[in-house]
Amino acid sequence: MPATDSVKRQPDFPPRTWPGCGWRWVLFATAVLACLNVPESITKADETPASATQFVLQDASGQTFQGPLNSLSSETITLGGPMAVSRLASQSVQLQMAPQPEPRPLSRTAVLLANGDQLQLRPASIQDGRLSAVWAAAPERPAVEIPLETIRAIVLDLPRDPGAAATLLSGLLDREHSADVLLLSNGDQLRGELDSLKDGKLTLGGAAGPAEVPLKGVRAVALSTELISFPPVTGRTALVSLDDGSWVTATSLQTIGEANTGKSLQIQAAFGATFTVPLSSLAGVRLQGGRAVPLSSLPVHKYVFTPFLSREWPLVTDRAVSGGFLAAGRRVFPRGLGMHSGARATWQLDGAYTAFEATVAIDDTAPAQASARVRVLIDGREAWASPELTAQAGPLHLPRIPLNGAKELTLTVDYGRSGDMGDRINWIDPVLIRQN
């Protein structure tokens, strides 16, 4: 058929120059392709509409795949699209909506759990040692029931100013309390035993008898740290992030419902309850306990801080050095490390890992003049160094750094060109990939 503008003629194959290479070459090529590391979980195209929400799945080898989320469970993750892909959860690092939802301010109310989870919930009632709370951004969903002994604090009026919010969160999460404490909006505090929440009033028991306090006059409730009892969690888990800024540790996950119509994600939470959320509200899943190991879950071997003048800054796990959540680019992140310029932290790896991944950024609460440089050292040798980080630059994704059986990993944060300008650095989602 003659070539036209709309139909391009395929070029002829080059003349055969190897003796006997016809059908033998086909067999040889087929054998080579079969031996290549082509995932056996890539299957034929499914019937998912192209308009379905897209997700990106990253596995432990560093490969990424994109497509609509067909199914998600504690064991497997399956993406649809032209080439459906399925991966074992134990061999996966993370699943993220693509693109990520637009950042939205955290709600003024939240429930902070003793294991570091936080849910954007509004308290509705407290009875028989359980909090019933509704989603602040979606009050039409069923309420979530949470045992009080798993709760660290309840925020009822989070300040809009990031610095003030970090100060409040630091006080709620870092201080030990022998009794329940109501932090009132006028600055006063009431101590006692939280008994109930009903009709918009908190009842606090004390030596002088019960006291009723209107919920509207309370900024936050810090629950007694002596009474915290969080269920032990073993084995693989998943840290589920929702588009409202919530994150929760799940011991079991399962998509339910018909594909593309009313599909939901059922979450069995580590705090002991099971609830469902629309699949459309899922922002991401971080897999834990398989080959992906959060660096923040490992003990630091050595930490050294060299102050620019005199103030000391600690290494902070899963929060910023300001005391608040890890925040960068107007987003909050559940896992990572908070460091300040002048800091150096080392972890022992003992040859158990193959790669290191992370994102680094200056925290949103840092001054506009903040700047710093960070480095990654493997067994004492520099493996990667950043350009000058600034408060305006936004998060910087590190290249995947091979470890090749390394014994030590060191993260350093060096002062920027202006010295100490409040250089609060967040290592976001630093992950080690375990040997297979």
The type of residue at 414 is D
Q: Read off φ and ψ for residue 305, nearest 5 degrees.
A: -125, 130
- DSSP assignment of 322-387: TSS-EEETTEEESSEEEEETTEEEEEE-TT-EEEEEEEEEE-TTS-TT-EEEEEEEETTEEEEE--
**Strand, helix or coil for residue 166:** helix
How many helices (H) and strands (E) are present in the chain, helices listed first?
2, 37
| Tokens, residue 254 | 């399962």
- The one-character DSSP state at 416 is B
Kindly write down the DSSP assignment for every residue of 198-251, as one continuous string: ETTEEEEE-TT--EEEEGGGEEEEEPPGGG--PPP--S-EEEEEETTS-EEEEE
| Other CB atoms within 10 A of residue 253 CB | 20
Q: What is the pLDDT along the chain (436 residues), one digit of tens a residue?
A: 333 333 333 333 333 333 333 434 333 344 433 444 444 454 444 455 555 789 999 999 999 999 999 999 999 999 998 889 999 999 999 999 988 877 777 789 999 999 999 999 999 999 999 999 999 999 999 999 999 999 999 999 999 888 899 999 999 999 999 999 999 999 999 999 999 999 999 999 988 889 999 999 999 999 999 999 999 998 899 999 999 999 999 999 999 987 545 689 999 999 999 999 999 999 999 999 999 999 999 999 999 999 877 788 999 999 999 899 999 988 899 999 999 999 999 999 999 999 999 999 999 988 888 999 999 999 999 999 999 999 888 899 999 999 999 999 999 999 887 777 678 999 999 999 999 8
Give 189's DSSP letter: E
Structure tokens at 282: 């899922």
Q: How many CB atoms lie within 10 A of CB 419?
A: 13
What tokens appear for 234 in the block? 């073993």
CATH architecture type of domain 292-434: Sandwich (2.60)
CATH number of 110-227: 2.30.30.100
> Which H or E run includes 301?
none
Going from N- to C-terminal start, the domains of the chain cover 52-100+238-290, 110-227, 292-434
Q: Is 419 left (phi over 0), alpha (psi -120 to 50) or beta?
A: left
* Contact predicate 356/408, CB 8 Å: no
